[in-house]
Amino acid sequence: MTPSIAVPTISLDRDPQVVGREFDETLRTVGFFQVVDHGVDPAVADAAWNAARAFFDLPLDDKLAVERPAGGLYGYFPMRSESLAASRGEATPGDLKESFNMGPGIRPSLSPVDETEAALFTANVWPAALPELQQTWQAYYAEMSALADRLMRVFALGLDLPADFFTPHIDASPSALRAINYPEQTHAPEPGQLRAGAHTDYGTLTILRQEAGRAGLEVHDAATDSWVPIPPTDGALVINIGDLMARWTNDRWTSTLHRVVNPDAAPGSTASASQRRQSMPFFHNANYSTTVECLPSCLAAGELPRYEPVMAGPHLAGKSTKSVAPTA
């Protein structure tokens, strides 16, 4: 069946009002697009990417030395320790990936409202075996934060709001940077097991770098109940919104189901099942205590909001907790 959606590529180097309208049109239907002319320093991006690859190539003991603590958010996540489909209530085997996470770090000026917020602003852990990881990742985190701020300003314009509407709601954002390694598959996956199970993201927006020539990311086309691949595009970053932004816009914008399939399952793929893949997503979120409720420009006359107001931080925490795979 022919998909009813297409994932466009949008240049940011144009009038923000024009780009905002394009974002609005795309996010009403697809929930995903790619951006070019985004201004991210390629040297900074490549340094962080290469450091991530070097981390995943370390001996397992060196990676386990920075394994996230029980219930923690940052550090090393071993293979199969997450099941993203579980965030939607589906019972599947652990995803065929390993990852490394960093957060915003300690903010001395921040007074957390509870233990959950405090956990979002704990110190990051860095591997002694790879000292360059910290410097390169902190630089890339800053680049991603700046791009997210820029995107949120264009989002506001696309929603017929002042450009700085979201600014006071994201100035203490507990955003996270993650690198994901999908290793070569030397054994057949278990039934229902994917590199990343079908899920939606949780926060405001996600910025993703894919590995060139390593397909696998797919988005769900609800109209045809089919999956549409997003092939890696040189120099482009994949953008999608999460559940929080969909809620904020009263579902005017779509938080789209997506997954990463095993390499032999990718449509049109000539890769062997052993093909390795890497990606780097930046998960942007609203401030922990921000109250997310229907935006005034997203409510038609006589219409009622679809959702009750929710605090951004607990919403995020609840989703994240569900994705932890059960231990064997």
At 92 the pLDDT is: 77
At residue 121, the 3 state secondary structure works out as coil
CB neighbour list of residue 60: distance below 8 Å, 6 or more residues apart: none
**How confident is the model at residue 319, as a pLDDT?**
67
- Phi and psi at 183, nearest 5°, equal -65, 170
> Which residues are 53's β-sheet partners?
none
Helices assigned H by DSSP within 159-210: 167-170
| Residue with tokens 């780097």, as numbered in its chain | 280
The C-alpha atoms of residue 152 and residue 168 are separated, in whole angstroms, by 11
Count helices and strands (H / E) in the chain.
Answer: 8, 14
CA 261 to chain centre: 16
Residue type (1 letter), 87: S
Q: Report the alpha-carbon distance of residue 275 to residue 212 in Å, rounded.
A: 13
pLDDT at 328: 32
Instruction: Look at residues 94, 274, 97 and name the one whose alpha carbon lies nearest to residue 186.
Output: 274
Check: CB of residue 244 under 8 Å from CB of residue 312. Answer: yes
Q: Give the CA angle between residues 325, 262, 50 to the nearest 5°.
A: 85
DSSP per-residue codes, 243-297? HHHHHHTTTSS----EEE--GGGSTT----TT--EEEEEEEE---TTPEE---GG
CA separation for the pair 326, 328 (Å, rounded): 6
d(CA 142, CA 93): 34
Question: What confidence score (pLDDT) does residue 1 get?
Answer: 61
* Distances in whole angstroms, Cα of residue 249 to Cα of each of 24, 145, 194, 241, 246: 11, 22, 31, 11, 5
**Angle CA 237–212–230, to nearest 5:** 55
Helix, strand, coil percentages for the chain (3-state, nearest 5):
30, 20, 50
Amino acid at 109: S
pLDDT along the chain (328 residues), means of 10: 83 98 96 97 98 98 95 91 74 87 94 93 96 98 98 98 98 96 87 87 96 90 92 94 96 94 65 77 97 94 92 84 46
